[in-house]
Amino acid sequence: MIRVEFLGPIQKDALELDIKNLNELATILQEDAEMSEWLTNCAVAVNDTLVSSLEAPLKDGDKISLLPPVCGG
Amino acid sequence: MLSLYDGALDVPTILKDWYAEEATSNYGAYIPFVGTVRSEDGIDGLSFDIYEPILESWFKAWQEKAKAKGAIIKMAHSRGDVMLHESSYIASVFSPKRRVALEFIDEFVEDFKASAPIWKYDLINGERVYALDRSTAIKGSGILAGENN
């Protein structure tokens, strides 16, 4: 299973999904009305490393994090 | 050095401690930037969430950049609520000469604003309101939205 965590202001509980890559996650989240406002501005990390494409394969136990726009300081 | 605190920063103590830590390190320049909560738009203060694993790796990459220039960086940030006229952020650069530190603090703070995984909320009438209009999408954001977005 792959754990998906929604960080910061996204008010959504973590998901446990049986997916093989980020394309499958994109498909699932694009159908989720709660997430529609976030997908265009969220960055994605796999195991705490930011990724820039959906192609990297996922393996059992991986953690995906969605990071909405930031403003420290 | 990356230090996270619950609530407002004790600015005089942190700056004094950092100064003392490097007192004999032979750095000619110590340039701190202190971020303080201002009164505007009726807020009572700000509040912060931090995702520490990625903040730590982001900071480590900047430590390496500083090292390549013979400099070091230190950073402190608040978690949770910080009220008006209190401070939530300190970044400091120590370097042998002033020019490196002056340029580096500017680059570092700009990237901090654009990339560090910290989320800011306005505290208004007891509510915590995400400051979306002042926030920046991290580079590479939007890949889950699909080609039509």
The ipTM estimated for the assembled molecules is: 0.95
Alpha-carbon distance of B85 to B81, in angstroms, equals 12
Amino acid at A20: K
Residue A72 lies in a domain: no
Residue B143 is predicted with a pLDDT of 96
Which residues 104-133 on chain B approach chain A with CB closer than 8 angstroms? Answer: 109, 112-121, 130-132
Domain count, chain A: 1
Residue A36 is predicted with a pLDDT of 86
Nearest to B117 among A7, A9, A40 (CB): A7
Distance, in angstroms, between B3 CA and closest chain A CA?
13
Range of the domain at A58: 2-67
Say whether residue B88 is in contact with chain A using an 8 A CB cutoff: yes
Residue A36 lies in a domain: yes
The one-character DSSP state at A21 is: B
CATH number for position A33 = 3.10.20.30
Residue B147 is predicted with a pLDDT of 64
Average pLDDT over residues A14-23: 96
Residue B79 is predicted with a pLDDT of 98
Nearest CA in chain B to A6: B51
**Between A and B, how many CB-CB pairs are < 8 A?**
117
Alpha-carbon distance of B119 to B139, in angstroms, equals 15
- In this prediction the pTM is 0.95
Burial class (CB within 10 angstroms; exposed 0-12, middle 13-18, buried 19+) of B38 = exposed
Query: Which of the four pLDDT bands, split at 50, 70 and 90, describes residue A55?
Result: confident
Amino acid at B43: I
Which residues in B lie closer than 8 A to residue A54 (C-beta atoms)?
143-144
Alpha-carbon distance of B6 to B143, in angstroms, equals 33
Quickly list H helices, chain A. 22-30
Q: Under a CB-based contact definition with an 8 Å cutoff, are residues B29 and B95 in contact?
A: yes
Residue A48 lies in a domain: yes
The one-character DSSP state at B144 is: G
In CATH, the number for domain B2-131 is 3.90.1170.40
Q: What is the pLDDT along chain B (149 residues), one digit of tens a residue?
A: 999 999 999 999 999 999 999 999 999 999 999 999 999 999 999 999 999 999 999 999 999 999 999 999 999 999 999 999 999 999 999 999 999 999 999 999 999 999 999 999 999 999 999 999 999 999 999 999 986 44
For residue A9, the cross-strand partners are: none
Residue B146 is predicted with a pLDDT of 82
For the record, the structure tokens of B120 come out as 């800011």
Say whether B135 and A42 touch across the interface (CB within 8 A): no
Query: Which of the four pLDDT bands, split at 50, 70 and 90, describes residue A57?
Result: confident
% of chain A surpassing 70 pLDDT? 100
Residue B149 is predicted with a pLDDT of 45
How is chain B split into domains, by residue range? 2-131
Which residues in B lie closer than 8 A to residue A11 (C-beta atoms)?
none
